[in-house]
Structure 1
Amino acid sequence: MDAASFSGATPPSPPPSPAVDVVLPCLDEAGALPWVLARMPSGYRAIVVDNGSTDGSAELARSLGAVVVDEQARGFGAACHAGLSAATAPVVCFCDCDASLDPAELPYVADPVLAGDADLVLGRRRPATLGAWPPHARVANRVLARRLRARTGARLHDLGPMRAARREDLLGLGLADRRSGYPLEMVVRAAEAQWRIRETDVRYLPRTGRSKVTGTVRGTITAVRDMSAVLARV
């Protein structure tokens, strides 16, 4: 007989399962993590996927209560898929970990999925300041969104990184890209599966720290190349 039974005390209840898991791909985001994790809504569990950080991001995330997954294979898609594979909640969100998106707004994308009104919801980024979204990145996004509409018929204006869908359905899509084309492949495969795809506005804020993709012309070109390759392949 254990101590709790002997004393008549009620054993502690296990922690409640999260309603939503939030995958946060992370590469050297120690400056943003405290704000990002503090803004996580109740019932949402943060899964920080460390993709080779050298600034202590993984240790910091653990100390702040996040689940941390170490993904050694470099690439945005590799980090996203590792987080999806580690998730256990019925609905999974994806969100950038650089404070450019406010986790407090995650219910905007997750609620329609939780309610059964949509299968995939993307956050359409609305810049909060003039400098939040560099012109070269905005133009590239507009071109890719136009190509995606022509390819899938989905009425989307942004390949926004904040999004939500059901975990089992996402795994069933068989997403293969492990680079910057992962978000676009998700939409293409979802459209092919006749998912109900929606878009909702979210704020886009100036990121914290150095940008790896949209903040640089080189990073944007690489992302466009990866996404174009996905469109040609799938």
Structure 2
Amino acid sequence: MTNIPPQYGDVVLPCLNEAEALPWVLDRIPDGWRALVVDNGSTDGSAQIARAHGAVVVDEPRRGFGAACNAGLLAAEAELVAFCDCDATLDPGALPRIAAPVREGRADLVLARRRPTERGAWPLHARAGNRALSRMLLRRTGVRLHDLGPLRVARRRQLVGLGLTDRRSGYPLQMVVRAAEEDWRIEETEVEYRPRTGASKVTGTWRGTWHAVQDMRAVLR
């Protein structure tokens, strides 16, 4: 993979101290897709590792998952933009399949429902929080999703047009809410979900999950 303009899409990879996971993730970026690793203040050499593996590194010093996602979106140049966690829980090699409905004009936003490959890959408290948010999303928008999947694809111009403002953990949910308000065609598929590499910052801890759920609940008010 090189830094030349992508043929199919850009993959935004928010990154905070993911040195252990980055090689695995970046080695699985499909041909025709370009990795945009958004360094959100890493202190473990993540940015250098990303560059060594051919990724474009975007610096976003303001902490926050949404801040990193937004910086990556603004740096993207391709028609399609994907968002993917950078902790090796998700295989970006699945992107061609996940992006197909958007590329072919059958959907505006595709989210990949997580299917754990091992016991404990997706902790019970994280699943419970996700289910609660999915029910709230259904009541608010009428959109029925099993999972607010972190691996997702849409067209860059449409995404920018949503004017997303959340800069914390509410960013993924705000994307779905505003897409629903704009009558986007939203589809859900599946993707394997592996145990993460390195220390968890959100779903692996009760405290991290609680803060993420609170951020997302604020979006639904």
The two structures have a TM-score, normalised by structure 1, of 0.92
1:99 aligns with 2:99: no
Match of 1:185 among 171, 174, 178: 174
Higher Rg: 1
Which residue is 1:3 aligned to?
A: none
RMSD of aligned Cα (Å): 1.1
Which residue is 2:123 aligned to?
A: 134
2:122 alignment partner, SS class: coil
Query: Which consecutive residues of structure 1, in runs of 5 or more, have no partner in the other structure?
Result: 1-13
CA shift in 2, pair 1:16/1:47, >3 Å: closer
2:220 alignment partner, SS class: helix
Kept in 2, the 8 Å contact 1:108–1:200? The answer is no
Could you tell me how far 1:106 is from its partner in structure 2? 1.4
Which residue is 2:71 aligned to?
A: 82
Which residue is 1:6 aligned to?
A: none
- What is the identity, as a one-letter code, of the residue corresponding to 2:125? H
CA shift in 2, pair 1:93/1:140, >3 Å: same
- What is the identity, as a one-letter code, of the residue corresponding to 2:124? P
Match of 1:151 among 130, 140, 143: 140
Could you tell me how far 1:187 is from its partner in structure 2? 0.2
1:94-149 Cα deviation digits (max 9, x unpaired): 00000000111112321111111100000000111111000000110011011111
1:72 aligns with 2:61: yes
1:148 alignment partner, SS class: helix
> Aligned partners of 1:148 and 1:85: how far apart in 2?
26
2:34 alignment partner, SS class: strand
- What is the identity, as a one-letter code, of the residue corresponding to 2:73? L
Query: Which consecutive residues of structure 2, in runs of 5 or more, have no partner in the other structure?
Result: none
Which residue is 1:201 aligned to?
A: 190
1:28 aligns with 2:14: no
Could you tell me how far 1:154 is from its partner in structure 2? 1.1
1:210 aligns with 2:163: no
